[in-house]
């Protein structure tokens, strides 16, 4: 049984089948996930007055955006100019090979097996 699959099913609130329940009963990691999600569900159901404050998501996203250095710097091959340069080099090599192929077809002395 795949632990990730079981834990994702629990987290999504999907109906867990008997095989997944049997696995969660013997797997420490999955049983911990089942227990914590069960506690969260019970907490949310016990107090229906709990509501998300107005603009909460916007404030969280703004706070995340204000965090300096949260995004890892790009590696050298992830930089846009490097990727564009590699594409240009690849295109030039392709055009060169195409030109060489056409030239060898049109000029038999250049191709293998051509008579001089």
Q: Exactly one of 3, 16, 37, 104 binds Zn ion (CB under 5 A); which one?
A: 3
Per-residue mark of binding to Zn ion, 8-37 (x: CB under 5 A) = -------------------x--x-------
Residues 53-112 binding Zn ion (CB under 5 A) are none
CB-based burial, 53-92: b 16+ in 10 Å, e otherwise: eeeeeeeeeeeeeeeeeeeeeeeeeeeeeeeeeeeeeeee
Give least dist CB 43 to Zn ion, A. Answer: 24
Of 1-9, 41-49, 67-75, 90-98, the window that binds Zn ion (rule: CB under 5 A) is 1-9
- Cα–Cα distance between 43 and 62 in angstroms, integer? 27
Give least dist CB 8 to Zn ion, A. Answer: 11
Q: Contact at 8 Å (CB) between 106 and 99?
A: no
- Cα–Cα distance between 50 and 41 in angstroms, integer? 13
List of residues contacting Zn ion (CB under 5 A): 3, 27, 30
């Amino acid at each position: 049984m795949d632990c990730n699959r079981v834990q994702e099913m629990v987290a999504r609130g999907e109906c867990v089948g008997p095989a997944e329940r049997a696995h969660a009963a013997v797997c420490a990691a999955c049983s911990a996930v089942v227990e914590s999600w069960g506690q969260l569900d019970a907490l949310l159901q016990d107090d229906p007055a709990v509501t998300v404050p107005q603009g909460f998501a916007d404030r969280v996203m703004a706070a995340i955006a204000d965090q300096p250095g949260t995004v890892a710097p790009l590696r050298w091959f992830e930089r846009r100019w490097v990727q564009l340069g590699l594409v240009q080099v690849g295109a030039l090599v392709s055009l060169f090979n195409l030109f060489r192929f056409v030239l060898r077809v049109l000029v038999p002395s250049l191709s293998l097996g051509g008579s001089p």
